[in-house]
Structure 1
């Protein structure tokens, strides 16, 4: 990566520029790829903090979007409406004012909801927001697990640098010639 990213503004500007070069279809692929990475990287945490049915619903939503995209089409309006209905039934924790809403759970859920929106609208910002969710998830994890971590050094952290490089590699892959095969889902992991 040639451009130095020092803060969230730099990251947002850089990724938005990269994502503008993709067509709507490829931005949908990128968004669902990011959300899938986020879901998998926080799977242990999600298993402990979400009901089994809610976790299955989130995974099924991503699977349905992947299935459509790997068949070369963005999900149709009726399918997206059905996915929205399923998504709305997942307990986000906000209904109970006495319950602490876990930021990781919220970030993962929001990223999946944004994937549905990304398929609905040709909006670079939505795919960028899903990419940002992965960074936000890492930020939360680093804050919890790394005693030397500070938000000011977020973009200096090796895990963040690796994630940015991985996202850029996927974008570059989607700019070129690629195949719609199941292993696209697990590329760059």
Structure 2
């Protein structure tokens, strides 16, 4: 990376610039790729926080978006409406005021909802927000598991640096020639 990223503002600015160079279709690919990675990387935690049917619904939403994208098109309005309906059925955890809200659960769920929105709107900010969700998920994980971690050093942490490089590699891949094949989904894991 040419520009150092020191804070969330730098990350937002850098990613927005990178994502502007992609077409809407590629931004959708990037967003669903980020959300898929986020869901998989926190799978062990999410199994404890979602019901099995809610987790299957979230995975199903991503699978359906991937299927459309692998067929070379952004999901159409009717399909997105159906995905929205499925997504809205997932318990968001806010209905019980006595239950503590789990940040990872919220981050993952929001990122999947943003993928639907990304397909609806040709908006760089939406795909950037999904990329930010991956960083937010790592931030939560580091805060919980790394005693030496502080929010001020977030972008100095090796896991964050690796994630930034991985996201940039995927963006560069989508700028060039790529094939719509299933291994695109697991690229750079």
TM-score (normalizing by structure 2): 1.00
Counterpart in 1 of 2:30?
A: 30
CA distance in 2, matches of 1:71, 1:186: 17
Q: Per-residue deviation at 1:175?
A: 0.2
Is 1:69 the counterpart of 2:106 in the alignment? no
C-alpha distance in 2, partners of 1:85/1:38? 22
What residue number does 1:188 align with? 188
1:140 aligns to 2:148 (yes or no):
no
The alpha-carbon deviation at position 173 of structure 1 amounts to 0.2
Q: How does 1:117-136 map to 2 (within 5 A)?
A: 117-136=117-136
Q: How far apart are the structure 1 equivalents of 2:182 and 2:74?
A: 16
- Answering whether residue 72 of structure 2 is matched by residue 108 of structure 1, we say no
Distance in 2 between the 1:129 and 1:92 partners? 19
SS in 1 for 2:117: helix
CA RMSD of aligned residues (A): 0.3
* Residue of structure 1 equivalent to 2:83: 83
Deviations 1:7-64 (A, max 9, x none): 0000000000000000000000000000000000000000011100000000000000
1-structure distance, mates of 2:134, 2:61: 18
In the alignment, structure 2 segments of 5+ residues that lack a partner are: none
The alignment covers a number of residue pairs equal to 189
Partner of 2:150: 150
Runs of 4+, deviation exceeding 6 Å:
none
Are 2:175 and 1:167 equivalent residues in the alignment? no
Query: Normalising to structure 1: TM-score of the pair?
Result: 1.00
C-alpha deviation, 1:95, in angstroms: 0.8
2: CA distance between counterparts of 1:171 and 1:97? 40
Unaligned runs of 5+ in 1: none
